[in-house]
């Protein structure tokens, strides 16, 4: 008999420690003082941005501000397998600027445009050591839903890393929005989305991406959280087997030593079966059934995911120069 899948909600039923209760009280006090705005927690050497006491948005090492501390952010850089030499990256959602800083530092030939709807988040850019705007970097205060369709089609990568306390933002999770992303991407461009939620919530999103990107969609769960990273490629310039050759590229490893691209290629999931090509309502239904089945095998209890702030902090501080996805 198959083992029942553990509900993710059960992960939060353990009684918190005294230390955890004190941490929660600190966050509650900071949130009350912020009066509904994002707020910062300093716990040296870490600095964190919170949207609410239960929703951390970003974390940074004050002494190493360009380091990607969270496995999901390192996994988002997996777009390099599909497009190793981007010239323009658009980020939808700024947060603490982890990806902005990493790309600015490690992709010197790439222009970076970040679009953030929350002016209070942008106001924290200096506290999170985000570089000033220059010829390569622009941070724009705008609603991406309105801003994106007005742009020229010249992005090699679009990072979709914008969510609220409920997960996917409805206006950024529609067939129309994904169509706009598709139009803004160059021929071999990649949309990379960081999302979280139940399989029943994520399945419609993946279905829309399959329809828009002709089934060129891959996904993987982060190694230290329940975030799902999704890669949608406009036109595949190589078959999947060639990705293994790219991840062995010495230049990629030299320029990005903290990204374990081999782990990524070994664990990416996709549905390439032509039976699920969404050309009819019936095939769409079959695709959704297969997607939710796959997601239910991925989004299950994971002992590697920190269950408290203490565990999270320990995980982050134990990263070193050779840190990997796992």
The pLDDT tens digits of the residues spanning 107-132 come to 999 999 999 999 999 999 999 999 99
The residue among 232, 101, 80, 72 whose CA lies nearest residue 163 is: 72
Burial class of residue 15 (count of CB atoms within 10 Å of its CB; 0-12, 13-18, 19+): exposed
Peptide bond into 45 cis (omega under 30): yes
- State the chain's mean pLDDT as an integer: 88
CA distance 6 to 37: 34
How do strand 163-164 and strand 167-168 relate by DSSP bridges? antiparallel
SS (H, E, C) 295-318: HHHHCCCCCCCCCCHHHHHHHHHC
pLDDT above 80: residue 213: yes
The pLDDT tens digits of the residues spanning 252-284 come to 877 888 888 888 888 898 887 555 665 667 778
Helix (H, G, I), strand (E, B) or coil at 64: strand
Q: What is the pTM of this model?
A: 0.90
CA distance 270 to 320: 31
* Mean local confidence (pLDDT), 292-319: 92
Q: Assess whether 109 carries a catalytic annotation.
A: no
Spell 105-118 as b/e; 16+ CB within 10 A means b: ebbeebbbbbbbbb
Which of 63, 66, 133, 161 is labelled catalytic? 161
CATH superfamily, region 71-298: Vaccinia Virus protein VP39 (3.40.50.150)
CA distance 101 to 106: 8
Q: What is the pLDDT of residue 323?
A: 45
Helix axes 281-298, 199-212, angle to 10 degrees: 130
> Between residues 82 and 324, which one has the greater pLDDT?
82
Helix (H, G, I), strand (E, B) or coil at 130: coil
Helix (H, G, I), strand (E, B) or coil at 298: helix
The pLDDT tens digits of the residues spanning 171-209 come to 999 999 999 999 999 999 999 999 988 999 999 999 999
CA distance 240 to 99: 25
Q: What is the pLDDT of residue 249?
A: 73
Query: Would you place residue 28 in the very low, low, confident or very high pLDDT band (cuts 50, 70, 90)?
Result: very high
Helix (H, G, I), strand (E, B) or coil at 13: coil
Domain locations in the chain? 71-298
């Amino acid at each position: 008999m198959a083992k029942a899948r553990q509900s993710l909600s059960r992960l939060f039923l353990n009684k918190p420690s005294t230390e955890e209760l004190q941490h929660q009280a600190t966050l509650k006090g900071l949130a009350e003082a912020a009066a509904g705005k994002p707020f910062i927690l300093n716990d040296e050497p870490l600095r964190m941005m919170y949207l609410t006491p239960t929703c951390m948005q970003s974390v940074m090492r004050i002494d190493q501000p360009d380091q990607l501390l969270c496995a999901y952010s390192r996994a988002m850089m997996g777009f390099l397998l599909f497009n190793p030499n981007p010239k323009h990256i658009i980020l939808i959602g700024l947060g603490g600027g982890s990806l902005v800083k990493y790309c600015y530092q490690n992709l010197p030939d790439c222009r970076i445009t970040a679009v953030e709807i929350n002016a209070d988040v942008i106001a924290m850019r200096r506290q999170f050591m985000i570089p000033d705007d220059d010829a390569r970097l622009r941070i724009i205060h705008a609603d991406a839903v309105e801003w994106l369709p007005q742009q020229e089609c010249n992005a090699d990568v679009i990072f979709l890393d914008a969510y609220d306390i409920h997960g996917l933002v409805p206006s950024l999770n529609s067939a129309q929005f994904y169509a706009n992303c598709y139009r803004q991407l160059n021929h071999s461009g990649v949309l990379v989305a960081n999302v979280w939620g139940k399989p029943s919530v994520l399945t419609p999103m993946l279905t829309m991406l399959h329809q828009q990107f002709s089934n060129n969609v891959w996904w993987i769960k982060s190694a230290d959280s329940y975030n799902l990273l999704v890669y949608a490629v406009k036109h595949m310039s190589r078959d999947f087997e060639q990705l293994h050759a790219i991840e062995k590229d010495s230049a990629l490893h030299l320029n990005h030593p903290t990204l374990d691209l081999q782990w990524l290629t070994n664990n990416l999931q996709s549905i390439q079966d032509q039976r699920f090509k969404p050309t009819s309502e019936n095939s769409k239904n079959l695709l959704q059934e297969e997607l939710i089945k796959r997601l239910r095998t991925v989004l299950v209890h994971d002992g590697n995911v920190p269950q408290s702030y203490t565990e999270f902090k320990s995980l982050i501080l134990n990263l070193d120069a050779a840190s990997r996805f796992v």
